[in-house]
Structure formats: C-alpha cells, structure tokens
C-alpha cells in the first residue's frame, strides 16, 4: 500500500455502471514516487487533508467487495493522527 493525503475529489456523471454510488478521492502520495496523484475509491469515509492507506491493483477490487468493478485503487485505512510517516 502507499501512504497518501486526500487532496480533493472528482465527479463523473457518465461512467461505468459498476462504479455508480462510489466516491472518487484524489490522493497525493506522501513519498516521492514514480506516480503522481491517483484517484481512489473511498468506502472508509476519509476527509480532505487526512492521510490514508491506499491499496492498488486487484487488491482494491477484491479486498473491498468490488470484485467486478473497474477499480484499481481504494482507500483502505485512515492513518491515526500522530503517526510518524517516514
């Protein structure tokens, strides 16, 4: 998983039907990384500014009860305040 900060969200009205009802949060990776911001489905209830754990790949679908959805990233935890993010 990667650690990231929730920096925004996006709205998509025209989308794959298996995505209906999901929230799409924009997450900025906390560590230098080869990738820029990513969009992760949030079923945990993360707010803007919170640090989160993001699972990517098939883990996002299968681990979050969305096995047949086109989801490749999901917020799977909110990191407790005071954690030292090395």
Q: Give yes or no for residue 47 binding a copy of itself (CB under 8 A).
A: no
Q: Give yes or no for residue 38 binding a copy of itself (CB under 8 A).
A: yes
Distance in angstroms (rounded) separating the CA atoms of residues 70 and 75: 15
Q: Give yes or no for residue 23 binding a copy of itself (CB under 8 A).
A: no
CA distances (Å), origin 27, targets 11, 14, 17, 47, 73: 14, 22, 23, 11, 10
- Where does this chain bind a copy of itself (CB under 8 A)? 1-3, 7-8, 10-16, 18-19, 24, 26, 28-29, 31-40, 43-45, 53, 55-64, 67-74, 76-80, 83-86
């Amino acid at each position: 998983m990667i650690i990231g900060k929730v920096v925004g969200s996006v709205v998509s009205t025209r989308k794959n039907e298996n995505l209906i009802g999901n929230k799409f949060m924009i997450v900025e990776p906390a560590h230098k990384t080869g990738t820029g911001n990513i969009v992760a489905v949030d079923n945990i209830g993360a707010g803007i500014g919170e640090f989160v754990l993001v699972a990517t790949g098939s883990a996002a679908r299968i681990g979050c009860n969305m096995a047949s959805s086109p989801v490749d990233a999901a917020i799977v935890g909110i990191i407790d305040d005071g954690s030292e993010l090395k």
